[in-house]
Structure 1
Amino acid sequence: MSQNKLKTLDQVLEGLMRRYKERVPDVQKIIHAMMDKRIIENETDIENDHVAFRTMGVPQLGIQSLEKIFLHYGYVKRDYYHFEAKKLDAYWYSPPEDKYPRIFASELRVNDLSERARNIIHYYTDTVKADPVKELDLDNAAQVDHYLHTGLWRTPTLTDYETLLDESEYAAWVIFNHYYLNHFTISVHNLPEGFNTLETFNEFLEAEGIKLNSAGGKIKESADGKLRQSSTVAGKLLAEFADGKEREIAGSYVEFAERKVLDAFKDVPSDQIQRKHRRDGFETGNADRIFESTYRTQTDR
């Protein structure tokens, strides 16, 4: 991978994170608390395990469009995941170098929704007549950054938003938030002893007043016990809709991941463990519950 492409990727990720922090107060609250407790010396000590995007499965958009950006920068498409109840598909992408976050991209199976919900979604997204990523200069970081923070379709009315909300909270989130970063993820396993398990890190978070997603338990664990995840509950944003009406809606959230060392590398000294020695990829059961960080069952409790 050329250094120029990696430099562009650096700038794109920086733009994503800058706006994400502005929209999610818990990010800076957690980082500052970690520094106050001397868990980290500065923000760059945090390993970003992965970032996540939500998309609409409609012509010209969805994963097939968004992924072109990151494949251009050397990401490699990996495993497929299906979430039957939530009507979602997803893939994860491994980065060109270990210093970069993995990417998790999900997509709403719009055709699986009711006719009413489908009609609302298409009313907005059908204004996108061609794959917009094909029109981008992917070597121009400013252009890509602007695209990821610009509405691809009109802002919905409050009525349309609430109609979608009643059928698919995921659909409602995407119709308003577009491609805003859904979450970034702190790699807990790389933190100092005493904070490098989810049990101890969650205890620290809750002592700081951080509200955690309780769906399926605060810690979601893969069947092999090697991937453990927690997340905050999404904070609420005051959103203004196309008809001038306002209401609070779910924004983005912060995730925390603990990836355990694979059995094949159990004898590797702890100071020599690298990303390749740990459990990779994702887990459908974990992710299914993490999605609910933006759902009313969590944000309203």
Structure 2
Amino acid sequence: MESITQLFDDLWHDYSQRLCPSAVQIQRLLTEDAALLNDHIALRSFGVPKCSLAVVAAPFIALGYQPQAKYHFEAKKLYAEYFMHPDPLLPKVFISELQLGSCSAELQLMVRSLLDQVDDDYFRNPNFVYGGRPWQLDFTSYQFLVAESEYAAWVAAHGFGANHFTVSINQLEQFTDLEQVNHLLRHNQFVINQAGGEIKGDATVMLEQSATMADEVGVSFRDGVHSIPGGFYEFAKRYPQPNGELYSGFVTASADKIFESTNS
């Protein structure tokens, strides 16, 4: 079994090479004396037994992660949980899954046809969480999925891997709020997710978040390479609770808009 450090190194390598190459430049812009602290990563999947949220979570649970809270995103037909490690310096892991039963019969059939291409054994190897797409897909099918569920299309096109990493703003000295970070990013030609406002959340919910819009990345389909939204970089500022500890959870209304960072 991989160590926790190796697992996150492999997730970062896949994310920064395949899904969000701009993350390397953003990391350079924000890194100060110490390495950036990663608040959390997020992973996506389909809500079927073969590759459910629980299956995606298994490699992290095996390394000491524990479930914390559950979230429902009814309009997007998503269910999510987040996991924490006893070591507070390790990133939180936010995992979501598409509730296929709430989707059209056509979408369900298409997703199941993709999963039928993959043996169950594939998902028993913990490396699958950064293994990319283990099935074949044509671009017409991708476009069909986009029309109903951008989330379904993203998982179908990219498979498995972190759709975002998240810089913890709390550790930074040069930047103390998200407005400053967003200004720096815009100055360097990055596009900020405006869904629900440039900054989602506030001090009253003890969490503020912003994100870039996803990189456009070339993806190989059965009928050629097409450029589609890949991964994005998120930024989070957490506020102290009455007991003095930083709030560690997520805010459903804000997370709902962060999902839209991968919209076309």
Fold agreement, TM-score > 0.5? yes
Which residue identity lines up with residue 260 of structure 2 in the other structure? E
C-alpha separation in 1, matches of 2:214 and 2:133? 23
The gaps in structure 2 that reach 5 residues or longer are none
- Answering whether residue 48 of structure 2 is matched by residue 58 of structure 1, we say yes
Q: 1:8 to 1:113 in 2, by over 3 A?
A: same
Q: What residue in structure 1 maps to residue 152 of structure 2?
A: 171
Q: What residue in structure 1 maps to residue 29 of structure 2?
A: 33
Number of residue pairs matched?
263
Which residue identity lines up with residue 52 of structure 2 in the other structure? G
C-alpha separation in 2, matches of 1:155 and 1:126? 11
CA contact (8 A) 1:33 1:208 kept: no
- Answering whether residue 95 of structure 2 is matched by residue 115 of structure 1, we say no
C-alpha separation in 2, matches of 1:234 and 1:86? 18
Give the CA deviation at 1:201: 1.6
**RMSD, aligned α-carbons:** 1.8
243, 246, 255: which one pairs with 1:278? 246
- Answering whether residue 178 of structure 2 is matched by residue 198 of structure 1, we say yes
- Answering whether residue 232 of structure 2 is matched by residue 253 of structure 1, we say yes
C-alpha separation in 2, matches of 1:113 and 1:218? 30
Q: What residue in structure 1 maps to residue 170 of structure 2?
A: 189
Give the CA deviation at 1:129: 4.9
C-alpha separation in 2, matches of 1:152 and 1:61? 12
C-alpha separation in 2, matches of 1:15 and 1:264? 35
Q: What residue in structure 1 maps to residue 14 of structure 2?
A: 19
C-alpha separation in 1, matches of 2:129 and 2:120? 16
TM-score (norm 2): 0.93
CA contact (8 A) 1:60 1:130 kept: yes
Give the CA deviation at 1:111: 1.3
Give the CA deviation at 1:128: 3.8
Q: What residue in structure 1 maps to residue 198 of structure 2?
A: 218
C-alpha separation in 2, matches of 1:125 and 1:256? 33
Work out which of the two has the higher radius of gyration on C-alpha atoms and give 1 or 2. Answer: 1
Instruction: Show structure 1 runs of 4+ deviating over 6 A.
Output: none
The gaps in structure 1 that reach 5 residues or longer are 137-143, 266-276, 297-301
TM-score (norm 1): 0.82
- Answering whether residue 207 of structure 2 is matched by residue 227 of structure 1, we say yes
2, 5, 8: which one pairs with 1:10? 5
